Amino acid sequence: MSENTRLVQVRQHVLKRNDTVARALRASFRAAGTYVVSLVSSPGAGKTALLEQMLGALHDRHRVAALVGDLATDNDARRLARSGAPVKQIITGTVCHLEAEMIKAALDDVPWEGLDFLFIENVGNLVCPAAFDLGEAAKVAIVSITEGDDKPLKYPDIFAVASLILVNKIDLAPYLDADVDRLIGNARRVNPDVEVLTVSARTGQGLDAWLAWLDARRIGQAA
Ligand SMILES: Nc1nc2c(ncn2[C@@H]2O[C@H](COP(=O)(O)OP(=O)(O)OP(=O)(O)O)[C@@H](O)[C@H]2O)c(=O)[nH]1
Ligand SMILES: [Mg+2]
């Protein structure tokens, strides 16, 4: 057996094991009535900034919690915990994505049953998180207008598996030569039916529409 064949087999085994854990998590979340959303993006696109806004907006009328993955530091968990919601940092060390086992283990420390929403912020990376099911109901991909309008074409997998794409940092549009329509067009080339919202974690623009999307999805899951 060649070294390459062996590597492919190991990778398939890891993904298969991940999928088994993820399927069990998804069944538990559905049974508990918890709508689980994961956020994926390149580093710095604004996952934590958007989650800070969401947790703040949802906390008074829904039971919400968040898990957040990073290679190192608990900076993001400390930012999100200011909302008052339960938050748990997952330190991945050298691993460039979250895996279903990490979510399962983290939930031992977060009282998640009875939650309306559980948010999972993945490690900032447009490649590895695409392949790993975390048991979430929806993956939300975030792309900021500072990154260039070709990112959906260069990293198609992550945009193809997203249920919603948030185009963030729209407040910076007057200062950049970003072509937001072309960015959205490129996202639709890899995921023709995907919903897209333009948002700003800084000004709050578009966040009501995202809240409405989340509420509708949660109600849809319960139906
Ligand atoms: N102007 C502007 N800045 C933003 C916006 N959203 C995020 N930022 C800034 O962008 C930087 C990165 O934001 P984060 O929320 O840390 O990004 P992230 O995706 O969580 O980053 P990682 O966790 O490191 O992958 C911070 O300085 C934010 O204040 C936005 O909508 N507008
Ligand atoms: Mg972050």
Residues in the chain: 223
pTM of the model: 0.95
pLDDT band at 111 (very low <50, low <70, confident <90, very high): confident
Residue of 81, 116, 136, 115 whose CA lies nearest to 211: 116
Q: Ligand 1: which residue has its CA nearest to atom 9?
A: 46
What is the pLDDT at residue 141? Answer: 98
For residues 50 and 167, is the Cβ–Cβ distance under 8 A? no
In single-letter form, the type of residue at position 162 comes to A
Ligand 1: lining residues by beta carbon, under 6 Å: 41, 43-49, 76, 124, 168-169, 171-172, 200-202
How far apart are the CA of 202 and the centre of ligand 1, in A? 9
For the record, the structure tokens of 165 come out as 């794409």
Calculate how far, in angstroms, residue 169's C-alpha sits from the geometric centre of ligand 2.
14
Q: For 144-176, how does the pLDDT look when each residue is reduced to its tens digit (9 = 90+)?
A: 999 999 999 999 999 999 999 999 999 999 999
CA-proximal residue: ligand 1, atom 11 (nearest): 44
Question: Tens digits of per-residue pLDDT, 66-81?
Answer: 999 999 999 999 999 9
Phi, psi of 142 (to 5 degrees): -115, 135
- Which is the closest atom of ligand 1 to the Cα of 51? 15
The answer, yes or no, to whether residue 97 has pLDDT greater than 90, is: yes
Confidence grade of residue 9 (pLDDT, cut at 50, 70, 90): confident
49-64, pLDDT tens digit by residue? 999 999 999 988 999 9
Distance in Å from the first CA to the final CA of the chain:
50
Q: What is the pLDDT confidence band of residue 12, given thresholds at 50, 70 and 90? A: confident
- 20 CA to centre of ligand 2 in angstroms: 27
Determine the pLDDT at residue 214: 97
Does position 132 have pLDDT exceeding 90, yes or no? Answer: yes
Q: What is the Å distance from ligand 1's center to 49 Cα?
A: 5
| Nearest ligand (C-alpha, residue 129) | 1
Provide the mean pLDDT of the chain: 96
Percent of the chain with pLDDT over 90: 90
**Amino acid, res. 124:** G
Strands 35-40 and 195-198: unpaired
Phi, psi angles (nearest 5°) of residue 102: -65, -40
Would you say residue 180 has pLDDT above 80?
yes
- Residue 11 is predicted with a pLDDT of 82
CB atoms within 10 A of CB 209: 14
Pick the atom of ligand 1 nearest to 203's CA.
31
Residue with the nearest Cα to atom 30 of ligand 1? 169
- The Cα–Cα gap between 100 and 104 comes to 6
